[in-house]
Amino acid sequence: MRVERLELQDFRSYQKAVLDFDQEVTVFSGENAKGKTNLLEAIFLCCTARSHRTPRDRELIHFGSEGAQIVTSISRLNGKSQIKLQLSEKGRKKAWVGGAELPRIGELLGVLNGVMFSPEDLRLVKDGPDVRRRFLDISLSQISPLYFNALSNYQRALRQRNILLRQLVEKKNAGQGDLDLWDLQLSRYGAQVAFRRAEWVGRLCQAAQRIYYDISGGREHLTLLYQTKLDLNGTVEALQDELYTRIQKARSEDLRRVTTTVGPHRDELELKIGETAVRAFGSQGQQRTSALSLKLAELRLMEEETGEAPILLLDDVMSELDDERQRLLLKHTSGVQTFIACTNYRQLPHMEQREMAVFEVGMHEGVSGCTLI
């Protein structure tokens, strides 16, 4: 799949921009805080309907404007199409695909698949479990509408159950019998989430192991483990029954802590090199290589799942990698449409064999602009 054109109206630092892409690699080059990352963010929004930088849509709208618009023209094996996103300060974002408005914004997932790799993702290994859960959820949601639906329903049930727990503790108009309804919802959708995540981690592990082995020169062995208190060896139905029982048993503790303590929102993705936990004891080099391996494994599995390579967005990450890791990153992304944000395209190594277009990004009077070099 490819992005052929990007059109922006009042998005972030851009009042208006139209960019055409006809090369395998597109580089946005310029000083920091001039608008390079905004371009990658706009493209990634068309992949996931969410920003990788902020949950607040109002931050995506150009100062002084009431709304913003992003349009991407894309091509896939099944033909060409167009994605349009509208953001508003007063309402929810809306999306159109091929001119037809989507009834739910979540239906945008899977239309254009993308993998984002930013400096923040280099912390994927050493930050808290929520970062790694989000990594799994974004990948799976792009390739599986059923997973996205289960995750959305699980998160909704979790929010409602936690509200009810707080009401019970504050002795508001609520009864413990109401918890049973949300316990059933949590166990139903939580079982689907945990089961699919564990399956995905197993596949990620195989792909990431091969990539890490290559990057480390065959010296080290990476393992990924989905850590949960649930028994994942049976069926989804058995998992649902087990989760329901555990949630019921934890009710007293949940009321004491005023939060739901059992479920896949507590699970973890653990990375090990040999018997060593990378998060706690891995060197900086091992942590960065593990994060890079995870992202490249995600890229290749999404291609395997959909039959098309997703687009790759590299947000100023090349400067964070040493020369050898940069070389291997580009080696593993050959044939993938890649967008790179960097401060100086002339300092990008190993680009001689790639078709490349460069846009110089600058800012004048608070408004960003791009010039094709």
Q: Is 30 annotated as a binding residue?
A: yes
pLDDT attached to residue 352:
67
Residue 80: what residue type?
Answer: K
pLDDT attached to residue 353:
67
3-state helix, strand, coil in the chain (%, to 5): 45, 25, 30
Backbone dihedral region for residue 322 (phi beyond 0: left; psi -120 to 50: alpha; all else: beta): beta
pLDDT attached to residue 218:
87
Residue 45 has which token pair? 């929004």
Percent of the chain with pLDDT over 70: 99
Q: How far apart are CA 341 and CA 361, in angstroms?
A: 10
Main-chain dihedrals φ then ψ at residue 3, nearest 5 degrees: -100, 120
Q: What are the start-end ranges of the H helices in the chain?
A: 36-48, 129-143, 145-169, 177-215, 236-249, 251-257, 278-281, 284-306, 323-332
Q: Is 36 annotated as a binding residue?
A: yes
pLDDT attached to residue 174:
65
Q: Is 32 annotated as a binding residue?
A: yes
Q: Is 362 annotated as a binding residue?
A: no
Segments in the chain below pLDDT 70: 173-174, 352-353
pTM assigned to the model: 0.91
Q: Is 307 annotated as a binding residue?
A: no
pLDDT attached to residue 173:
66
Is residue 113 within 8 Å of 47, Cβ to Cβ? yes
Q: How far apart are CA 272 and CA 235, in angstroms?
A: 27
Q: Is 217 annotated as a binding residue?
A: no
Could you tell me the domains of the chain? 1-113+315-373 (3.40.50.300)
Q: Is 37 annotated as a binding residue?
A: yes
pLDDT attached to residue 355:
80
pLDDT attached to residue 310:
96
Q: Is 238 annotated as a binding residue?
A: no
Is residue 123 within 8 Å of 292, Cβ to Cβ? no
Residue 355 has which token pair? 């078709």
